Amino acid sequence: MKKRALVSVSNKEGILPLMKTLADQEVEIISTGGTKAIIEEAGIPVTSVSDVTGFPEILDGRVKTLHPFIHGGLLAMRGNDQHVAQLEEQQITTIDYVIVNLYPFEETVSKPGATFEDAIENIDIGGPAMVRAAAKNHQDIAVIVDPNDYEAVIEEIKANDEVSKQQKRKLAAKAYRHTASYDALIAEYMTAQTEDEEPESLTVTYRRKQSLRYGENPHQQASFYQRPLSNLTSIANATQLHGKELSYNNINDADAALAVVRDFQEPAVSAIKHMNPCGVGVADTVSAAFKKAYDSDPVSIFGGIVAANREIDVETAQQLKEIFLEIVVAPSFTDEAMAILTEKKNIRLLTVEFQSETPLEQRITTVSGGALVQDTDTLTFADVDVKTATEREPSDSEWQELKLAWNVVKHVKSNAIVLAKDGQTIGVGAGQMNRVGSAKIAAEQAGERAKGSVMGSDAFFPMNDTVEAAAEAGVTAIIQPGGSKRDQDSIDKANELGIAMVFTGVRHFKH
């Protein structure tokens, strides 16, 4: 029996060579309006779906292929005598190839000014129905949803007159990924419209952005996926201008570096090592901010990831060039800065569009067998109502440093302590199992510089020992959430030691 191909594509790219191959194999091509026109124009014989169904396309294309003459031909099992008999009785003919891709929902809703009605009209119904039916019946049907697969299918048809069983199964799995991902995007869009805050199932979809050479370690396989509808200031939306391809650890670190500088309005530079800030500087210019970030910890920044929230200029580029850095990510680089930095073959240079507002994004982390979902911690110093708990108010300059310490400590793994002075971090205690341990690490790193510095803590002090450690190091002011049953002990100790201490009422755990 003559084979038949059902073709209905919104993305018509690359379709003609496949049509030609099928026609050369004497496969009958049946197609919907716009697709048929293109095939016809190329001089390839094609039958209209309406001629097969005996029914016109109606409702502005909402109903074209939704017909038993199509779906019977897709779903009948060739090895099932009853199915075959029923098809004969109804004069339905089987279909062997389905080449379909769907209405451009993602492109439509990504366009500025897209309306809800535009979105609704771009929800494909007939396409997914055909794709799912063909994929279910993949033992007899090759279903091709991705133009990138046309070439391989053409080769196979030319070589063997048909698509192998193994290939059909792979194509079917891809077809279900395609429709699942398509529906996940629609669900995401619709859920956002309805403000359903805690959906009963999590149906996000990600698209592969990059295959990675390996994961956190060379023996772990890894890939980088991107949320299709996300326009956040994020590493997933970054553009790489120069350097080797990003690694798994690079991506995580660059994400952490960007998160820090996003929280500052003034020029800020962060340097990250293993997901923790090792140096952060704020100043009037990006080059001064980088100098401060560098001076924070000139040892740890070696091999680090640097992010800036302003354009990288010549002056900054000259400083960046002097040290070994894995990545520099910024909103842009001047041409002169690019010329300087690209002299280094391996440094990765990335740009990211800084959005004026950071939309609230949900963060998903996995645990074995499950996922945890929470809002991003977007609160910064500017969002909290800070109250002085001690007799002494911080001085103006102490307030400046407290703000810096608070905005940075949020990005340090708990238990987190940050010492800051002169617009830069000077000591970072990260990831310790007790708070006073983190305080001691931060103070030790700061050394003599700790004298006259301020301290930020991501969570409250359970005892007054951290205040003691702070005073011993020479800290003069502290910012912390407060809220411990024993806050009064810490307040008394701070008063006794002449330290000004303020409470934010907000905790910034980062695990």
Ligand X SMILES: NC(=O)c1ncn([C@@H]2O[C@H](COP(=O)(O)O)[C@@H](O)[C@H]2O)c1NC=O
Q: Within 10 Å of residue 108's Cβ, how many Cβ atoms?
A: 17
Give the CA angle between residues 255, 257, 261 to the nearest 5°. 115
Binding span for ligand X by CB under 6 A among 17-25, 62-70, 388-396, 465-473: 62-70
Give the count of residues interacting with ligand X (CB under 6 A): 21
Closest CA to 478 of 431, 448, 435, 430: 435
| Closer residue to ligand X (CB): 32 or 296 | 32
Active site residue 242: no
User: Shortest approach of ligand X to residue 90 CB, angstroms?
Assistant: 19
| Closer residue to ligand X (CB): 38 or 384 | 38
3-state secondary structure of 358: coil
Binding span for ligand X by CB under 6 A among 64-72, 135-143, 271-279, 378-386: 64-72
Answer yes or no whether residue 32 interacts with ligand X by CB under 6 A: yes
Tokens of 167: 């290939």
DSSP letters, 23-67, are HHTTPEEEE-HHHHHHHHHTT---EEHHHHHTS--BGGGTBSS-S
User: Shortest approach of ligand X to residue 65 CB, angstroms?
Assistant: 4
| Closer residue to ligand X (CB): 32 or 457 | 32
Question: What is the distance between the alpha carbons of residues 289 and 309, in angstroms, rounded to a whole number?
Answer: 10
User: Shortest approach of ligand X to residue 122 CB, angstroms?
Assistant: 9
Closest CA to 280 of 318, 308, 302: 308
Give the CA angle between residues 446, 278, 348 to the nearest 5°. 150
In the shown chain, the binding pattern of residues 91 to 110 toward ligand X, with x for contact by CB under 6 A and - for none, equals ---------xxxx-------
DSSP structural state of residue 312: B
Active site residue 508: no
Binding span for ligand X by CB under 6 A among 84-92, 123-131, 185-193, 462-470: 123-131
Subset of residues 258 to 297 that bind ligand X, contact rule: CB under 6 A? none
Contact with ligand X (CB under 6 A) among 72, 73, 127, 482: 127
* Virtual torsion, Cα 250, 255, 257, 259, nearest 10 deg: 180
Tokens of 440: 């001691």
Contact with ligand X (CB under 6 A) among 5, 9, 256, 494: 9
Answer yes or no whether residue 35 interacts with ligand X by CB under 6 A: yes
Answer yes or no whether residue 126 interacts with ligand X by CB under 6 A: yes
Active-site annotation, residues: 136, 274
Residues found near ligand X in the complex (CB under 6 A): 8-10, 32-35, 61-66, 100-103, 124-127
